[in-house]
Structures are given as structure tokens and as C-alpha cells.
Amino acid sequence: MSSNLPYLYSFNYDHHHSDLCKLESRHLFNQEEKEKVLFSDVLVDPSISPFIKNRFEIISSADSYSALLITVKKKKIRVEGFNAEYIILHSDLADFAERQSMIKDVGYSIEGEPNFDSPTITYAICQYETHWYFGILIKPNTDWRNHKTKPYSFSNSLCVHIAKSLVSIASQGNKTTLLLDGCCGVGTVMLEGRFSDFQIEGCDINEKACNHTKENLKHYAYTAKVLCSDINDLDKVYGAVIIDLPYNLYSYSTDAITLKIIKAAARLTSRVVIVSISDIESIIKESRLKTIDSGTVKKRGKSNFARRIWVCERI
Ligand SMILES: C[S@@+](CC[C@H](N)C(=O)[O-])C[C@H]1O[C@@H](n2cnc3c(N)ncnc32)[C@H](O)[C@@H]1O
């Protein structure tokens, strides 16, 4: 059966990020991607996610390729500088030559001069299960990958994929939500927030960490407020707070300190996204929060190191 929903999102991730991508998709779309594909009526900027490969805005669909081509011709599209692409989704068996031939058919069905290098618009076709789709392809800006070489980092900084996904999960894709990275370290999460124009502030008890965050933000010409403070001393309302808890590796921590930080976050917002390498379920229960969702991210190639992410709401 064909989907009547307007958007088809396709995803790309390594096996160790599968759980994180599904967690993110539950909070952006209210449903999980399946086989790296998701139909939705929710409009999401693909650049906010480390996993969304593209957003495909469906113009027409048909139960065969030839019927789809007729729908394209009927639209009598006339546009200068267009490009046409083929999206390969799970279960698509077309080989390279077949795909090239179909892209050519689509190109010849559109009036105007194509521009392959810097197109004004990219049309695409794809096949999913029993149906064929034609539409406009919106690709993400992937320059966030440059954050991997930020000037200041430390060995337990979050990887860019986790940091970026935390912003999506906390904000649920809403760029007007004021976010706080409550234990910002060198600002890994803040860089991802500012890259996608989210409103995000950072706070860390360690002055050196705050200075490194400021330098990292400056390096990419991002502006954001960085508060050198104990999160317990903040007094402001946020739409969501992200907490990457101290791991007791470089910064001293105990269950009592963890509980204090979580309680402080719960005082500032009704939505807290917490990252920890230890099981803090019982500590969350002691705070004013309840866990509404969670996921695990393993480190690539390291089966015994995993971070857990808890999405919590104030009781
Ligand atoms: C695991 S690190 C965060 C790393 C960060 N996400 C990054 O990728 O750079 C935890 C941070 O929490 C900070 N911290 C510890 N207790 C804090 C408190 N009470 N208020 C604010 N920050 C705190 C530490 O200084 C440390 O930088």
C-alpha cells in the first residue's frame, strides 16, 4: 500500500548507533525508523540529526515505475538548473544501469536545463515495498563533521553523533526551545546546538572547561552564553536540560553528587536528558523526575563501554 504521508526520511548509521537513532526518531517523529526508512507528516530539518540522510518530499506515487513516469510528465514541470537522483532504499533491487536509465527518463520528463554541480532543486525517485515515489530531495548540511577537529577536547568528551542526537532528543526538533547543557565540559553538545541554530546555553563548574568551551565556540564563529557555575546555583527556566554526568574519571563524583545535579536540573526544566556510564535508574527515582524513554550507545569496537541515555520528565 502506498503512503499518504508527505515526507519520506531515510537514515544512515553504523550498527553501534542503531539504538540511539531509534531513540532520536521516537522523540522527533513519535515513531521509530524501520529499515532506515520512515514516512511521516512531521517536518524535520535533516541537518539537525546525525542520522537523517535526507528528507524526500513526495509529489506523486504509483504502483509501477511506468505509471510513476506518467505522473511526472503530467506535472509539466519547467525549472532551470534542476538535478535528478535515485534514492536507494531497503528492498530496492534495481542495478546501477537500471537506476541510471530511470534517472535519465525523469530528467527528460522535466523541461529546463539541468545543473548537476549546483542544482537549484533536486528531484528524486525511489521504490519502497510495492510503490514508486517521485518528489523533491532535501539533503542535510554535513559540515558539523568538522567539529571532530575542534581545538579543545578531552578523552571522555562525547562523540559528535551522540552530542548532536542529544540536542534533537532534548529539543524534539523545536528550535525555539531554550536548551541548557548543564555539565558542558568543552562544549561538544553546544557546538551541535549552535550549528543548527538552536538556542543553547552551557554551564560547567570547572573554569578551565568553560574557557575551552568558549574557545571551541569562537573557533567556529558560534555565539552562546557559557556560565562558569555549579548547576545548583542556576536560577532560570529552560525548555530542556541536557546533563552529561561527571564519570569519576577526570571529575570526582558520587551518587550523592549525581543526585544533586539531577535534582538541580529538574528544578530548571520539566524535560531532562541525562547521559551516564553507570546505572542511575534508582538515583533518577529519588529525584523529582520519571524516566519516559532510554537508550544505550556502545563505543565502536568496545563491547564493555556503553553510555546510557535517559529521557526524563518532571513528575
Ligand atoms: C562528562 S563531563 C562533560 C563532557 C562534555 N559533555 C563534553 O563532551 O565536553 C562532566 C562535566 O560536568 C562538570 N560538572 C561536575 N559537577 C558539576 C556541577 N555541579 N555543575 C556544573 N558542572 C559540573 C565537570 O566539570 C565536567 O566538565
Which CATH number fits the domain that encloses residue 38? 3.30.2130.30
Q: Are 165 and 305 in the same domain?
A: yes
Q: For residues 74-100, b (16+ Cβ closer than 10 Å) or e, as one string?
A: eeebeeeebbbbbbebeeeeeeeeebe
- Sheet of 240-244: strands edge to edge? 226-228, 199-204, 178-181, 240-244, 271-276, 302-314, 289-299
Q: Are 110 and 182 in the same domain?
A: no
Last residue of a domain, one of 108, 138, 168: 138
pLDDT at 247: 78
CB of 278 shorter than 6 A to ligand 1? no
The number of folded domains in the chain is: 2
Q: What is the pTM of this model?
A: 0.95
Q: For residue 1, is it within any domain? A: no
| Rounded Cα–Cα distance for residues 7 and 200 (Å) | 28
Q: Are 37 and 93 in the same domain?
A: yes
| Rounded Cα–Cα distance for residues 223 and 194 (Å) | 8
pLDDT at 208: 97
Last residue of a domain, one of 138, 160, 175: 138
Q: For residue 2, is it within any domain? A: no
pLDDT at 303: 64
Q: How far is the CA of 246 from the centre of ligand 1 (A)?
A: 5
State the Cα angle at 93 between 75 and 117, rounded to 5°: 55
pLDDT at 158: 94
Q: Are 53 and 181 in the same domain?
A: no
Range of the domain at 79: 7-138
Looking up residue 160, the CATH number of its domain turns out to be 3.40.50.150
Burial of 313 (0-12, 13-18, 19+ CB in 10 A): middle
Q: Are 149 and 270 in the same domain?
A: yes
Last residue of a domain, one of 120, 138, 156: 138
pLDDT at 87: 97
Q: Are 151 and 61 in the same domain?
A: no
CB of 204 shorter than 6 A to ligand 1? yes
pLDDT at 150: 97
Q: Which of 154, 164, 166, 184 to mutate to test the pocket of ligand 1 (most atoms within 8 A of CB)?
A: 184
Q: Are 108 and 188 in the same domain?
A: no
pLDDT at 24: 98
Q: Are 37 and 64 in the same domain?
A: yes
CB of 268 shorter than 6 A to ligand 1? no
CB of 188 shorter than 6 A to ligand 1? yes
Element (H, E) at 56: strand 52-62
Q: How far is the CA of 209 from the centre of ligand 1 (A)?
A: 8
Low-confidence ranges of the chain (pLDDT < 70): 1-2, 248-253, 302-303
| Rounded Cα–Cα distance for residues 235 and 87 (Å) | 48
Q: Are 90 and 184 in the same domain?
A: no
pLDDT at 194: 98
Using CA of residue 11, residue 40, residue 25, residue 122, what is the dihedral sign? positive
Q: Which atom of ligand 1 is nearest to the CA of 188?
A: 8
